[in-house]
Amino acid sequence: MTTRRRVPEGFRDAVGELEFWRDGVLGVRKRDGTLVEIPEESLAAAKVVAGGA
C-alpha cells in the first residue's frame, strides 16, 4: 500500500505492507523493515499497490 500524510513541512509518503489499523493509527512496514505509524487524522490518501510493496 502507499500512503500520503500531512506533516508540518507539507506531505510525506510511506510505501509498504499495512500491518495494522487500530485505535486511529495505521502501521505500515516499509521494505527496509521499519514500521511507520501514521495517525489517522494526518492521512491524506492511501491506496493498494498491485503486486505488493
pLDDT in tens, 1-53: 999 999 999 999 999 999 999 999 999 999 999 999 999 999 999 998 876 54
* Residue located via cell numbers 495505521: 26
pTM confidence score:
0.81
What is the reported pLDDT for 32? 96
What is the reported pLDDT for 52? 53
C-alpha cell recorded at residue 4: 500520503
Domain ranges of the chain: 2-47
Enumerate the β-bridge partners of residue 23.
Answer: none
What is the reported pLDDT for 49? 81
C-alpha cell recorded at residue 16: 509498504
Handedness of CA 42, 37, 34, 51 (dihedral sign): negative
CA distance to 1, 8, 13, 15, 39, per residue, from 48 (Å): 4, 25, 13, 10, 18
